[in-house]
Homo-oligomer: A and B are copies of this chain.
Amino acid sequence: MANGSGTLSKSSRCSEHRIRRRVQFHETDAAGIVHFSCFFRYMEEAEHALWRAAGLSIVRSAGGLGFPRVAANFEFHRPLRFEDEFDVSIRIVAIKKKSIGYACSITRGDERVATGTLTIVCVSRRPGGEMKAAPIPAEIADRFEVAAVGDVT
C-alpha cells in the first residue's frame, strides 16, 4: 500500500488503500451470497479508510463541504459467502478541480471477486439543503494523488 516514490511532497500523498474484511451474516441474502448492494458499501468503507490514511475524515475535514457520490458501478465476477475473508483495494484514478475518481478491486486470496469505480464530487450546501459543486479545498487535494497504473492487483 505504500504509494510509490517520487519527490518528498509526493511521497506523503495517498493514492491507494486496502482493507481486509470478513463477510457478516446480515450482508448475505437468500441466495446464500453477499447482496450486490453491499459491494458498494465495501468500496466506500475502503475509500473512507483511504481518507483516514491521508489524515482526513471525509465528513469532519470538509468544513461544511460534502462529497456525494455521482457515479458508481461494479462488475461481479465471483460471489462472496458468509465468513469469507476478502480484500478491498481502492485507488485514485482521477483528481479534478471538483471531483475524484476511484477504481476498486475486491479479491479473495488470488481470486478476483468484483471490480468497481466510484466518482465523488465536492459540494457546498446552500440554505435549504441544495448542493452546488465546489472546488476541492487545497488542504484536502494536497493529501491525494493519482495512483500509478497497475498498483492495485
Contacts and interface: CB of A to CB of B under 8 A. Distances in A.
B36 A30 contact: no
Interface of A: 24-26, 28-33, 35-38, 40-41, 44-45, 48, 52, 57-60, 66, 68-76, 79, 81-83, 129, 131
A75 to B, nearest CB: 5
B79 A36 contact: no
A24 B45 contact: yes
Oligomer copy total:
4
Nearest to A49: B22
The 4 closest A-B pairs by CB, nearest first: A73-B73, A28-B30, A37-B40, A36-B69
Contacts of A74: 71-73
Nearest to A76: B70
25 contacts: A24-B48, A25-B29, A25-B35, A25-B44, A25-B58, A26-B35, A26-B37, A28-B29, A29-B30, A30-B32, A31-B66, A32-B129, A33-B68, A36-B72, A37-B38, A37-B41, A48-B83, A57-B83, A69-B76, A70-B75, A71-B73, A71-B74, A72-B73, A79-B131, A81-B129
Contact of A59 (B26, B30, B44, B72): B30
